[in-house]
Amino acid sequence: MLIIGIAGGTGCGKTTVVNQIINELPPNEVGIISQDSYYNDLSHLPMEERVKVNFDHPSAIDFNLLSEHLISLKSGRSVQQPVYSFKAHNRTGETEITIPRKVMIVEGILILTNPELRKLFDIKIYVHADSDERLIRRIKRDVEERGRDMEEVLSRYQTTLKPMHQQFIEPTKEYADIIIPNNKYNTVAINIVRTIINERLI
Ligand SMILES: Nc1ncnc2c1ncn2[C@@H]1O[C@H](COP(=O)(O)OP(=O)(O)O)[C@@H](O)[C@H]1O
Ligand SMILES: Nc1ccn([C@@H]2O[C@H](COP(=O)(O)O)[C@@H](O)[C@H]2O)c(=O)n1
């Protein structure tokens, strides 16, 4: 199994890059794990408390469960990946079966902050886009897809997103084997990563 970790700040285009990479690969040979599925279970908190959580700090992620799942997949066992709701700020209680594939891609803002997780990655990728570009994309996406309004996104950006990005996320660039510049769609970089994966699939 080849395990690829794809990190980068919110809105840099991780999900888009993952979709572009897997688009022309055999569907039954690539699996995806999203860090978002591993936000801590906050069922014990009421909605008004969950909204206030700092979702950009490493402590918001259940890294133990994420590492455990990756180790299970590596040894050939399927896992139940939790399903996350950005509208409820919580896991839904449902899970999605994730079966081991020849290539597993793990994507998320904080995945390179955790030393145990980093050890599990064969290739570490950091997707870079400038902060103004990321903020614009985030506003559009969160309003269209995640049930937020502009006020919510801007306030979260100022209070947690920007400081956490500078403190925890951006510094993990140093662990990356490959940095993908993604202010614009970068088909050359995507093709290079796809070629590396294809070599492993042969
Ligand atoms: N290179 C790009 N140029 C312009 N828009 C992009 C680019 N990559 C992604 N987007 C858009 O930006 C938004 C955030 O992208 P997404 O892949 O969800 O980022 P991430 O997973 O890193 O948060 C999406 O609406 C997506 O369509
Ligand atoms: N309930 C939540 C949980 C997370 N977020 C934000 O999601 C971002 C990470 O996801 P990306 O797809 O953008 O990488 C992160 O910056 C959190 O602020 C949220 O808004 N609500």
Is the beta carbon of 152 within 6 A of some atom in ligand 2? no
Task: Give residue 26's pLDDT band: very low, low, confident or very high (50, 70, 90).
Answer: confident
Rounded distance from Cα 184 to ligand 1 centre (Å):
10
Nearest bound ligand to the CA of residue 57 = 2
Q: What DSSP assignment string belongs to the chain?
A: -EEEEEE-STTSSHHHHHHHHHHTS-GGGEEEEEGGGGBPP-TTS-HHHHTTS-TTSGGGB-HHHHHHHHHHHHTT--EEEEEEETTTTEEEEEEEEE---SEEEEE-TTTTS-HHHHHH-SEEEEEE--HHHHHHHHHHHHHHHSS--HHHHHHHIIIIIHHHIIIIIGGGGGG-SEEEE-SS--HHHHHHHHHHHHHHH-
Of all residues in the chain, the percent with pLDDT exceeding 90 is 93
Indicate which atom in ligand 2 lies nearest the CA of residue 109: 14
pTM of the complete model? 0.97
Q: Which CATH class is domain 2-196?
A: alpha beta
In this predicted structure, the answer to whether residue 202 has a pLDDT above a threshold of 80 is no
Sketch the domain layout of the chain as residue ranges: 2-196
Task: Give residue 201's pLDDT band: very low, low, confident or very high (50, 70, 90).
Answer: confident
Instruction: Tell me the average pLDDT across 60-87.
Output: 97
Of all residues in the chain, the percent with pLDDT exceeding 70 is 100
* pLDDT per position as a tens digit, 87-110: 999 999 999 999 999 999 999 999
Rounded distance from Cα 112 to ligand 2 centre (Å):
16
Mutate to test the pocket of ligand 1, among 18, 136, 137 (most ligand atoms within 8 A of CB): 137
In this predicted structure, the answer to whether residue 25 has a pLDDT above a threshold of 90 is no
